[in-house]
Structures are given as structure tokens and as C-alpha cells.
Amino acid sequence: MNTDRIIIVGGGSAGWMTAATLIKAYPNKDITLIESPNVPTVGVGESTVGGIKNWTTFLGIDDKEFMAATDGSYKLSIKFTDFYKKGEAFHYPFGDVHTDHPNDWWFKKIARPNTPYSDYSDCMYPQMALVNQNKLGYNEQDEIPFSFKKDTAYHFDATKFGLWLKDNYCVPRGVKHLLENVDTIEQGAEGVQSLNGKHTADLFIDCTGFAAILMGKTLKEPFEDSSDMLPNDSAWATRMPYLDKDKELVAYTNCTAIDNGWVWNIPLWSRIGTGYVYSSKFVSDEEALEEFKAHLGSRSEGLEFKNIKMRQGIHSRLWVKNVCTIGLSAGFIEPLESNGLWTTHEFLMKLVHTLRKGTVSQWDRDNYTFACRRVFRNFLEFVELHYALSAREDTPYWKNNSNKEWCPSLLSFEQENVNGLKNYADSISEYVNNIRGGSHCIGAGMHSSTATLHSLMYHQHKSKKEVLKECEEVVDKLDSRKNEWAENVKHYESLYRFLKRNIYKDA
């Protein structure tokens, strides 16, 4: 199968991210994007995670080129409030941990049992000094071991981001743009033969969101539902103005667990995006809206609320005949951890790799499906971990979650982390590579210890007194380093001032 002529069906962030990626990687291909003038995008994917910087760097676009046009801000972390139990919160920062020994923080926890679990990220990630003081800087003097280029992500308006890509990246580089409803889809032996009886291509890419009009409705590819692994299937979303912008504009997404799900809070430059992700098995849409309004308090007055029904899961195959799928049409995990945009650019890089030869065989199709489904499954289990480790039982929703049976691969999480710490104890570089994902942060924040007093006594053949003496030795070192990071960024600007000076000079 040749791939010289490509038609992308559907716009939005997924469609235009696909067009941008392909025109960058293969500027000589004939690429057309067809989108309906009458179908709105979901438009609430406003938060990203660390990997987005890999993708923008691949495209060769600078932050200052698009952030002002997309209402953008910077993101250093994700905060989880009341997920483990009410009254506790912790952060999952981006980037690599900084440690001298894999068990350092757990040694501190053993020596000082009253240390809050939230202290883990403060000791392991230097950028938490910025988060805790709500400041930001380029770190040009290396005042903390933090890379602005690699360890940041974005908050932005996803709809505006798609439009920016269209007008400033894709169309200027030769992507053809057609505003047209797809009324008919003609099929042939190779899959889709044409659209509306006239638009033909070698490869069609489905970016039509939950509708999945090519992969689902036309080719009838089975969809594997994941609702048995994750509890939520619906969301209410809205936008609200700032009350105190300098204070409320923070460099993290806040996720707060409430009675039947959780609420996101995403601060953009001019407003805050917020929404309630919940389970219709435990609360009706109307009841959920009232819960959400109660959470927002008086700030809910006068706001417009949008209800979203989510399809959780993934198609059995992601490339069937001459149709490939990207974005929500491929699969979706609930919004926790901002997986929608992340899986989009990760799937796209798999697609770029698959198209490198110019022709595609069945092996290539199957390999694309395998690679993307593995990425999807790993992320699905990562999101599931946020619920599996929760100790909440205060509502039927959380009690049901507490009594749920979990899959074997998820159950091995804590033991693998313990083994990983033990096996990599003599090699920090290998240890850091082993925990680049965020599961160790979620585990620490939710009291899932990778080293305990009893395990160290057992594995090291030492008495309690000997273990505690060794653990005590790391406390001052960790606290001293944490305090040094905090001191070194005190002169940094607030996030608001930083954005005002570097991105929104004329705003």
C-alpha cells in the first residue's frame, strides 16, 4: 500500500496535530484535511504533560510563537487533592528525580514517621521549589537542577491551539484544508475508496473524535470498552474568570476528588477551565451538576456548563486496510493525567515511524496497532493506579472503588517498585531510567511505601537500631537540599509576572 496521498478526516486538536506532524516529517506528501463546518470539537483538552515538549521541539515551534494565541501558560506538575483521603494532597512533577540513593526519601520517612507523604516530591524534584512559591524562571544560572526546556508542559485552549496549527503551521507548509460535511463514504476492497464520491487517497486518517466515522461506523472495527477498569464515564465542564489572577494562576493542574469523581482546575492566561468527571452509575447528570456547583460555591453563578459523555476504551485494531485512527477516535482514557493530547502525539510518532518506507504492509499495520495499544494500556493502568491506592470509603462511589478487584499487572506495581529499588540500589542512573514514569510519585503520595523499617531489617540483616541510625543520616541532607532549592528561587518572578514579561507583553 502506497502512502503518498493522505486525507485526514476531522479537525480539532487531533486533526491539526496530525497534519502538522505529517507535513513536518514528510513535506513531499500530498496531505488534505477535511472537516465539517457544522460539527464542534470537544474543546476541553486544556492540559498537557511532559512529553508535549518532545513533540513541539520535533515540529520546531517555539513557545512564544503559539502561547499568546492559545491563552497558554506553563505547567510544572499535577496536584492531587483528597485522592488518598480527605485533607491530604500531593504533587506529581514532570522531569527526572534528583537523588543520591534510590531509597533516600523512604529512609527519611522511616527515620521521621510524621513526615507528610507530600514531602516526597519536595525532596525529589527541584522544580517543586517553584511550584510551592508560585514562581517561574528560565533557570539560566542553574540555580536548581531543573530544565525549563524539558521539564515543563502547557495549559492552553485546545480549540485555539488547533486553529493556530492550521493557520500558522499546516496551511503555510502545504496542507490542503477543505470545509465540507462527509455525507457519503464509499468502500472498496482496500477499505475506504472515496469520500462524497470524489475525495480519494492512499491513506485515510480518522480524527473524528468519539464518532469515529471511518474506523467505527464505516469499517465496523470492534471497540474494547475499558469502563470495568475505570469508574467514570461523564463530565460537566465550564470556564470561570479569575478572582485573584496573580494568586490563582499557578503552574499546575489541580485534581480534587469529591463524592462521585473528581474536579479539574486548569488555569489559563485569561480564565480557569474546570470540570467534574463522574460516574453515571452513582449519580445522575443533574445531581452531578449540583455537586459541581456546590464545589465551586458562589463562583458557579452565571457560568455555562457543558455535559460530555465519554467513551472509554480502544479499538481492537488502530489501522485497518487503508484507514488509521488518531485521537479520541482511536481510544480514550478518562481525563485524569491529561492523556488525550499525550496519546495523540505519542500515536503520531508511531505513525511517522510506520510511514518511513513509503509503503505499508500488513506487518506495518499490525505493528502500529501493537505499539499504540501498548502505550495505551500502560497509561490506562497508570490512571487506574490513582483509584487503586485510594483509602477513601466515605461514599458509595469510593466504597465500591475500595472493594474492586484489580488486574494482576496493576497489583504487581508496589512489588516491582520495591524490587526496582533493591536491584538498582547501586546505580542511580539506571534507577532514574527505571522510574521515569510517574507511578512512583502516585505511589508515594498515596502511602504506597517502597521501603519500610521491617523490609530493610529483613533484607539488610540489621537490627532496628542499626537501620534507624542509617536512615537518620539522610534526613539533614534531604532537608538541606530542599531548603537550598527554595532559597535559590526566591528572587524569581511570579508565574503571572513571568508570563506577562515573556509571552503577553502587549496584553
Report yes or no on 401 lying in a domain: no
Report yes or no on 66 lying in a domain: no
Q: What is each CA distance from 334 to 115, 132, 261, in whole angstroms?
A: 32, 28, 11
pLDDT at 427: 42
Residues 201 and 344 in one domain: yes
For 256-279, the pLDDT digits (tens) are 999 999 999 999 999 999 999 999
Residues 255 and 286 in one domain: yes
Residues 419 and 470 in one domain: yes
Backbone phi, then psi, for 52, in 5-degree steps?
A: -60, -30
Give 3-state DSSP helix, strand, coil % of the chain, rounded to 5.
45, 20, 35
| Grid coordinates belonging to 380 | 490506562
Residues 145 and 162 in one domain: no
Q: How far is 268 from 291, CA to CA, in rounded Å?
A: 24
Report yes or no on 54 lying in a domain: no
Q: What is the CATH number of the domain that holds 17?
A: 3.50.50.60
* Domain that includes residue 445, residue range: 98-154+412-493
Report yes or no on 211 lying in a domain: yes
Report yes or no on 69 lying in a domain: no
Single out the residue in 262, 285, 309 at which a domain terminates. Answer: 309
Residues 331 and 193 in one domain: yes
pLDDT at 333: 92
Residues 211 and 319 in one domain: yes
Single out the residue in 342, 365, 384 at which a domain terminates. Answer: 384
DSSP label of 214:
I
Residues 327 and 222 in one domain: yes
Q: Which residues of the chain have pLDDT under 50?
A: 418-436
How many CB atoms sit inside 10 A of residue 222's CB? Answer: 10
Residues 168 and 239 in one domain: no
Domain count, the chain: 3
Question: CA torsion 278→295→49→226, rounded to 10°?
Answer: -10
Give me the helix-helix angle, 453-460 and 464-488, nearest 10°: 120
Report yes or no on 348 lying in a domain: yes
Asked if 320 contacts 223 with a C-beta cutoff of 8 angstroms, the reply is: no
pLDDT at 458: 85
Q: What is the pTM of this model?
A: 0.93
Single out the residue in 255, 289, 309 at which a domain terminates. Answer: 309
Q: How far is 446 from 440, CA to CA, in rounded Å?
A: 10
pLDDT at 43: 54
Residues 424 and 488 in one domain: yes
Asked if 32 contacts 181 with a C-beta cutoff of 8 angstroms, the reply is: no
User: Catalytic annotation on 75?
Assistant: yes
* CA-closest candidate to residue 383, choices 432, 334, 436: 334
Backbone phi, then psi, for 73, in 5-degree steps?
A: -145, 175
| Strand ordering across the sheet containing 323-325 | 176-179, 30-35, 5-9, 203-206, 323-325, 319-320
Residues 192 and 320 in one domain: yes
Which residue among 75, 166, 321, 350 is the active-site one?
Answer: 75
Residues 471 and 484 in one domain: yes
Report yes or no on 280 lying in a domain: yes
Q: Which sign, positive or negative, has the C-alpha torsion 386, 387, 389, 391?
A: positive
Q: Write down the mean pLDDT value for the chain.
A: 91
Backbone phi, then psi, for 176, in 5-degree steps?
A: -85, 140
Report yes or no on 257 lying in a domain: yes
Q: How far is 303 from 260, CA to CA, in rounded Å?
A: 21
Residues 416 and 488 in one domain: yes
Question: CA torsion 402→406→409→413, rounded to 10°?
Answer: 10
Q: Which sign, positive or negative, has the C-alpha torsion 190, 193, 195, 198?
A: positive
